[in-house]
Copies of this chain bind each other. A is one copy, B any other.
Amino acid sequence: MIKTTSFEIAYHQFLQPNGEPSGGLPPLARDTDTLHALYHNMVFTRLYDERAVNMQRTGQIGTFASSLGQEAIGAGVGHAMQPDDIIAPSFRESGALFFRGFRVRDLLLYWGGDERGMSNPDVGDDFPICVPISTHCTHAAGAAFAVKYRNEPRVVVCLIGDGGTSKGDFYEAINLAGVWNLPLVVVINNNQWAISVPRSMQTKTETLAQKAIAAGIPGIQIDGNDPIAVRHHVAEAIENARHGNGPTLIEAISYRLCHHTTADDATRYRSDKELEAHRQYDPVPRLRTYMTQQGIWSEEQETQLQTDCKTAIEQEVQHYLASEPQPPESMFDSLYATLPGELESQRRSLMGKE
Q: A-side interface residues toward B, CB under 8 Å?
A: 1-14, 22-23, 166-169, 171-172, 175, 178-179, 181, 200-207, 210-211, 213-217
Query: Which chain B residues lie closer than 8 Å to A210 at the CB level?
Result: 5, 7, 213-214, 216
Partner of A2, one of B12, B171, B179: B12
Also in contact, A11 and B7, with CB within 8 A (given A214-B214, A217-B204): no
Complex formed: what's the CA distance from A195 to B4 in Å? 29
Please state if B204 and A215 are interface contacts (CB–CB under 8 Å).
yes
Complex formed: what's the CA distance from A154 to B191 in Å? 37
Query: Which chain B residues lie closer than 8 Å to A14 at the CB level?
Result: 1
Query: Which chain B residues lie closer than 8 Å to A178 at the CB level?
Result: 203-205
Nearest chain B residue, comparing its CB with the CB of A13: B1
Complex formed: what's the CA distance from A181 to B14 in Å? 36
Please state if A205 and B214 are interface contacts (CB–CB under 8 Å).
yes
Please state if A172 and B179 are interface contacts (CB–CB under 8 Å).
no
Complex formed: what's the CA distance from A26 to B33 in Å? 65
Complex formed: what's the CA distance from A172 to B178 in Å? 19
Also in contact, A8 and B5, with CB within 8 A (given A178-B203, A201-B179): yes
**Minimum CB–CB distance for A291 against chain B, Å:** 20
Please state if B7 and A3 are interface contacts (CB–CB under 8 Å).
no
Complex formed: what's the CA distance from A178 to B200 in Å? 11
Query: Which chain B residues lie closer than 8 Å to A6 at the CB level?
Result: 6-9
Given contacts A1-B12, A7-B7, 9 further A-B contacts (CB under 8 A): A1-B22, A2-B12, A7-B210, A167-B168, A171-B171, A178-B204, A179-B204, A203-B215, A210-B214
